[in-house]
Structure 1
Amino acid sequence: MTTSDVDQVTVQVIGNAMLSVAEEMGAVLRRASYSTNIKERVDCSTALFDAHGQLVAQAEHIPIHMGSMKGLVQSLLDDKDTRQLCPGDVYITNDPYTGGGTHLPDITMAAPVFHEGALVGFSANIAHHSDVGGHVPGSNSGDSTSIFQEGLRIPAVRFMIGGAVNEEVLAFVTLNSRLPEERRGDLLAQLAAVHTGGRRFSELHAKYGSTVIDTASGQLLDYARRRLEVAVAAIPDGTYRASDWLDSDVPGQEPIRIQTAVTVSGSEISIDFDGTGRQADVAINVVRSALEATVYYALKAALDPEIPANGGFFDAVRIDAPFGSIVNPRPPAAVAARTDACQRVADVLLAALAVAVPGRVPAGSHSSITYVTFAGPDDEFFVYPEVIAGGAGARSDRDGLDAVQVHVTNSSNLPIEALEIEYPLRVDTYELITDSGGAGCYRGGLGVRRDIRVLSRRADFSAHADRQTFPPLGLAGGEDGTTGAFVLRPGTDRQERLPGGRVSGISLRAGDVVRIESPGSGGYGDPRRRPAELVAHDVAQGRVSPASARERYGVVLLPDGSPDVDATARLREE
């Protein structure tokens, strides 16, 4: 059958049906899981692949997972004769260096899908598990120096054989986790999700026929590629460069530079990271799958957000990264906190594209994962992981968003009620940080302050974050946002700001408080062009202080909070 034999209405119906299957898989995974990290924070993704390993539909969950599942599917096709793939078999892996996700807590699961005895595709998902071993609870320390410190490495193995769970593999994984029952529950939830996807995908093949499904999938993949090529062709030919810095990987060392050159020639685009700094000594290194996912996200976001969520445009992008650099490390480099560097990769790509497509790229966002873990003592053991949101950069026509995730992460906030029911912790403060958004004609989004008090007799605190030294950048005359911080026991005579953003094993006692402050974001345009009425409204809402209104925006307020028009005009003229 040729591509012309399937009409475009049918192609779109099939495409939306496959996306609906991926979304249903995600709902099953969230509802069946045990850990708050999956069921509440939604740190997971689901997808369908065709029989050739092409991503044909991915639910809109976590951008860093874009392409991450492809590694396992491709390794199954590369390492096995398709006759070795059998109905009822399900595979898992988590090793970033051998085709499994981007760090060890992300366990990928994939099941071959069959129709009338023939392999027609794969149902896959990936989920961030709260603990897979390693030297700190949560398996996500920012200061590990080797992947062997970060947890259990799982090669591609069969988790289910002929429809029966491989209890030996399950026991091997649970034995290496500090939360074995939670791991068992989450893995079985992933299993339910791949079974749901496989069953629905097979039903689509039964309804339309495999030839029609394959043809429609091919058209959808081609369409995604053409969309990217059209978007690239609209950019003037040339090379667009940008660079930024990560905070020092180890206190006292020089910070690491992320540099990119985006080259456009007609409808072709290539990304070169030559000039990017050395491989990090700690866990902020980025393996190839994570780098690719970040590049795909940035191009889709800046050039054409409506590109279908499939792998059709992946091969249309050339990516070069020097081996031994932070964006292409030598094994066994540590990678647990790779998203900190991925966020900076997204920043420099968007900064380069801001020149190519002016007005379509926002100012710098908080671009930090700000990941924290609280773990309890052995007799009442718990692991609470959380990613704290921050400010999103202002755009050319509107203010930035407050307290959101940006770029490669899209996980949800864990509601305070769920946190306090699940863990022996209490949230004393949860608020936006006044003046954390960069001043501009359009104001940057605000960061978050969250104070968490330990209620158990003791707990260990680990964290990794960035943008605690280098602030999010303003754009087109807008000012920079604020940096983040971790502070122990704030407001007491034992207050201590933790040096750097990557710590592990900080011992806490009952009553101790950890303050987490996420970065704000950059403003867009000259602050003195922001209407005085909007500045007054920001002050009334606590987003901007009266002092900042005067000093940064040139707005003088009357006692009732309204702007003094004459005094503001004089100050702005000065």
Structure 2
Amino acid sequence: MLNKVSVKPSISLIDKQIMWNRLLAVVEEQAQVCQRTAFSTIVRESGDLAAGVFDAKGRMLAQAVTGTPGHINSMALAVGHVIDAYPLHTMSPGDVFIHNDPWMGTGHLNDISITTPCFKGDRLIGFLACNSHILDIGGLNDWASSTDVFMEGIYLPILKIVDGGRMNEPLMAVIRANTRQPVETVGDVYSLINCNAVGCERLLEMMEEFELTELDELADHVIDTSREGVLAKIRKLPKGTWHSSLTLDGQGGEAITLKAALTISDDGIHVDYTGSAPMTKYNFNVPICYTMAYTSYALGVSIVRDIPNNAGSLAPRTVSAPEGCILNALKPAAVVSRHLMGLMLPDLVFGALRQAMPDLIPAEGAGVLWNLRVIGPWKSPPVFGDTFMAGVVTTGGMGALPYRDGMSATGFPSGVRGGPVEIWESMSTAVVWRKEFWRDSGGAGQFRGGLGQAIEIENIIPETLSFGCSFERIQYPALGAFGGSPGAAGRVMLSNGVILGGKGIHAVEPGLRVLVSSPGGGGVGDPTKRDPALIRQDLENELISPAAAREIYRYYA
């Protein structure tokens, strides 16, 4: 009589799809826990975070919708770095790893990354990972002045923050000692640890429900299906190579030019940044992981669309940039403001894609967030514990699409939501007297660019306040497409008429107000071909002026 061999039945396709959806639900709850327990306003109010689940090989299986491309797509690489530093056989239940190395998946030191191995019994079945922006981790208050990464705050290599369930108190003490806001910073670290713990609980519950002992078969299904789905979309596109360039304000009178060559083939899409400016002495150099993140995002929203983000769907999107250029900066380059270049990469990629897919790609937009960042009161020398630091996200306009107007005051491409100014006011001595659409700031066109915002801020105590600027699109506004006009360039000034630089920290004396005008998006098409009904609507909503209606749109009704 032959011995019967027990063969584990394969998971049905329907069950795989259900479990895939459950993974998406797990990471969304993980992200929501982080957001609701965070101390930093940019996380709590604006969602500047990422959360994801990975298999035991370090491959990302699902990421939360709540989050930003810069965090999410760079986090996809972070778990692999953790495994390299701490091989799987050295990990134990209750371990948690922390780092903020800009070159290992965060882009700059202010983004702290937490990775938690998830065990089913004694077996490692996967990882939960997350990261978020920490408002203060030491370093210079002036985000425009650092010249190397060591000036920008505490630098954490990959370390165990929790060892077998026991908190690494000496490491936490080091973190606490290197921030001006120890309560908020430590609170954010605990928030990140906690959200991973919740994600692991939900993952194990799902595995119990479906009687899974490992994720390997499900992981292969998710990754293989996603990769093939993306390749199927790419194979329908025209093949070839297209080039684009983008000039940005830079700093100190030194404009920065970025260049891209985008190649579409049956095997995927590759973007090469050869020809872009070299690394700069200023602090908006970009680690390659962040370059990859926003390049992948630009390709995702224009081509991939409804296929979820994971290791499989990201694989056909590849990036290269020469070592030492501004988009592949090498340590110890200053990188704290890497978003000033990184958030502009979608416009650069779109400039190439517009030549291949003219009916689908938007005009240029504001790109970089116009965050309001105040520190006060200004004292010299500073008194520890006697100052505050508060930030709130504000946004500019998106570029128009070839078939509709651009969205106004929208945080594209970052996905970071504009924060309530009331929360910001409650955490500082600043009062916002005005926050409204900036009329005529959207580029004119058959389809109008999105509007920026006009914001007026005052310090209400009789002491000097410092206002930090880290802005783009002041010298070089968002360009229109196919005959559309550029959006309005941004500007920052005081109520006494003094123009402030777009990068740096400025003293605001009592009685003065800061007037911020965020840039608008470019328009698409000939403005004289705009639907008169849309022009009337814009006039009624005070999005354009009567003068613009007459002189630009040739509307005389």
Separation (CA, whole Å) in 1 of partners of 2:190 and 2:214: 33
Equivalent residue for 2:46, pick from 9, 33, 41: 41
The structure-2 alpha-carbon separation of the partners of 1:348 and 1:3, relative to structure 1 and needing over 3 Å to count, comes to farther
- Contact persistence 1:368–1:519 (CA under 8 A): no
Matched, 1:502 2:508: no
1:135 match: 140
- Contact persistence 2:85–2:158 (CA under 8 A): no
Q: Please give the secondary structure, in 1, of the residue aligned with 2:216.
A: helix
Matched, 1:350 2:339: no
Separation (CA, whole Å) in 1 of partners of 2:324 and 2:221: 38
1:310 match: 310
User: In terms of mean alpha carbon deviation, does 284-293 or 206-215 score higher?
Assistant: 206-215
Equivalent residue for 1:418, pick from 423, 428, 439: 423
Separation (CA, whole Å) in 2 of partners of 1:334 and 1:394: 34
What code does the residue aligned with 1:502 have?
Answer: K
What code does the residue aligned with 1:307 have?
Answer: I
Equivalent residue for 1:382, pick from 385, 388, 395: 388
What code does the residue aligned with 2:36 have?
Answer: R
- Contact persistence 1:486–1:516 (CA under 8 A): yes
Q: Please give the secondary structure, in 1, of the residue aligned with 2:537.
A: helix
* Counterpart mapping for 1:120-131 below 5 A: 120-131=125-136
For normalisation by structure 2, the TM-score amounts to: 0.94
* Counterpart mapping for 1:95-174 below 5 A: 95-97=101-103, 99-136=104-141, 141-174=143-176
Equivalent residue for 1:461, pick from 463, 467, 471: 467
1:288 match: 288
What are the superposed Cα offsets for residues 536-565 of structure 1, whole Å, 9 maximum, x if unpaired?
A: 221121111111111111111xxxxxx2xx
Equivalent residue for 1:204, pick from 203, 206, 210: 206
Post-superposition shift, 1:212?
Answer: 6.6
The structure-2 alpha-carbon separation of the partners of 1:120 and 1:212, relative to structure 1 and needing over 3 Å to count, comes to closer
Equivalent residue for 1:244, pick from 225, 243, 246: 246
2:57 match: 52
1:78 match: 84
User: In terms of mean alpha carbon deviation, does 127-136 or 3-12 score higher?
Assistant: 3-12
- Contact persistence 1:67–1:311 (CA under 8 A): no
Equivalent residue for 1:232, pick from 220, 231, 234: 234
Post-superposition shift, 1:471?
Answer: 1.1
Equivalent residue for 1:19, pick from 24, 36, 44: 24
- Contact persistence 1:72–1:93 (CA under 8 A): no
Separation (CA, whole Å) in 1 of partners of 2:7 and 2:542: 61
Separation (CA, whole Å) in 2 of partners of 1:295 and 1:420: 35
Separation (CA, whole Å) in 2 of partners of 1:57 and 1:352: 29
- Contact persistence 1:360–1:396 (CA under 8 A): yes
Separation (CA, whole Å) in 1 of partners of 2:401 and 2:154: 42
Separation (CA, whole Å) in 1 of partners of 2:114 and 2:457: 34
Q: Percentage identity across aligned positions? A: 32
Post-superposition shift, 1:508?
Answer: 2.2
Post-superposition shift, 1:108?
Answer: 0.4
Post-superposition shift, 1:3?
Answer: 12
The structure-2 alpha-carbon separation of the partners of 1:453 and 1:13, relative to structure 1 and needing over 3 Å to count, comes to same
What are the superposed Cα offsets for residues 282-314 of structure 1, whole Å, 9 maximum, x if unpaired?
A: 111110110111111011111121121212132
Post-superposition shift, 1:208?
Answer: 2.4
Separation (CA, whole Å) in 1 of partners of 2:412 and 2:318: 24
2:37 match: 32
* Counterpart mapping for 1:555-574 below 5 A: 555-556=555-556, 563=557
2:97 match: 91
Equivalent residue for 1:480, pick from 462, 480, 486: 486
The structure-2 alpha-carbon separation of the partners of 1:4 and 1:394, relative to structure 1 and needing over 3 Å to count, comes to farther
What are the superposed Cα offsets for residues 58-111 of structure 1, whole Å, 9 maximum, x if unpaired?
A: 1121111123223431122122331211111111100113x1411111000011
- Contact persistence 2:244–2:261 (CA under 8 A): yes
The structure-2 alpha-carbon separation of the partners of 1:211 and 1:230, relative to structure 1 and needing over 3 Å to count, comes to farther
Separation (CA, whole Å) in 2 of partners of 1:281 and 1:249: 10
Matched, 1:430 2:435: yes
Post-superposition shift, 1:380?
Answer: 3.9
The structure-2 alpha-carbon separation of the partners of 1:515 and 1:419, relative to structure 1 and needing over 3 Å to count, comes to same
- Contact persistence 2:73–2:294 (CA under 8 A): no
Separation (CA, whole Å) in 2 of partners of 1:474 and 1:521: 8
User: In terms of mean alpha carbon deviation, does 438-447 or 384-393 score higher?
Assistant: 384-393
Separation (CA, whole Å) in 2 of partners of 1:509 and 1:295: 41
What code does the residue aligned with 1:436 have?
Answer: S
- Contact persistence 2:41–2:392 (CA under 8 A): no
Separation (CA, whole Å) in 1 of partners of 2:155 and 2:332: 11
Separation (CA, whole Å) in 2 of partners of 1:2 and 1:388: 57
What are the superposed Cα offsets for residues 470-526 of structure 1, whole Å, 9 maximum, x if unpaired?
A: 1111112111111111112x2x3xx21113x2112x222333321221110011111
Separation (CA, whole Å) in 1 of partners of 2:437 and 2:470: 20
Separation (CA, whole Å) in 2 of partners of 1:3 and 1:338: 49
What code does the residue aligned with 2:112 have?
Answer: I
Post-superposition shift, 1:227?
Answer: 1.9
Aligned length: 544
User: In terms of mean alpha carbon deviation, does 397-406 or 63-72 score higher?
Assistant: 63-72
1:572 match: none
- Contact persistence 1:109–1:126 (CA under 8 A): yes
For normalisation by structure 1, the TM-score amounts to: 0.91
The structure-2 alpha-carbon separation of the partners of 1:3 and 1:266, relative to structure 1 and needing over 3 Å to count, comes to farther
- Contact persistence 1:434–1:446 (CA under 8 A): yes
Separation (CA, whole Å) in 2 of partners of 1:369 and 1:332: 25
The structure-2 alpha-carbon separation of the partners of 1:420 and 1:371, relative to structure 1 and needing over 3 Å to count, comes to closer
Q: Please give the secondary structure, in 1, of the residue aligned with 2:74.
A: coil
2:192 match: 190
What code does the residue aligned with 2:223 have?
Answer: L
2:339 match: 339
Post-superposition shift, 1:370?
Answer: 2.0
Separation (CA, whole Å) in 1 of partners of 2:393 and 2:40: 15
What code does the residue aligned with 1:383 have?
Answer: M
What code does the residue aligned with 1:405 have?
Answer: G
Q: Please give the secondary structure, in 2, of the residue aligned with 1:537.
A: helix
The structure-2 alpha-carbon separation of the partners of 1:541 and 1:136, relative to structure 1 and needing over 3 Å to count, comes to same
What are the superposed Cα offsets for residues 408-441 of structure 1, whole Å, 9 maximum, x if unpaired?
A: x122222122122222110011011111001111
Q: Please give the secondary structure, in 2, of the residue aligned with 1:497.
A: coil
- Contact persistence 2:435–2:453 (CA under 8 A): yes
1:258 match: 258
Separation (CA, whole Å) in 2 of partners of 1:2 and 1:296: 40
Separation (CA, whole Å) in 1 of partners of 2:32 and 2:95: 22
User: In terms of mean alpha carbon deviation, does 519-528 or 242-251 score higher?
Assistant: 242-251
Separation (CA, whole Å) in 2 of partners of 1:136 and 1:193: 29
- Contact persistence 2:94–2:165 (CA under 8 A): yes
C-alpha RMSD of the superposition: 1.8
- Contact persistence 2:71–2:132 (CA under 8 A): no
What code does the residue aligned with 1:313 have?
Answer: S
What code does the residue aligned with 2:140 have?
Answer: H
Post-superposition shift, 1:11?
Answer: 1.5
Separation (CA, whole Å) in 2 of partners of 1:361 and 1:548: 26
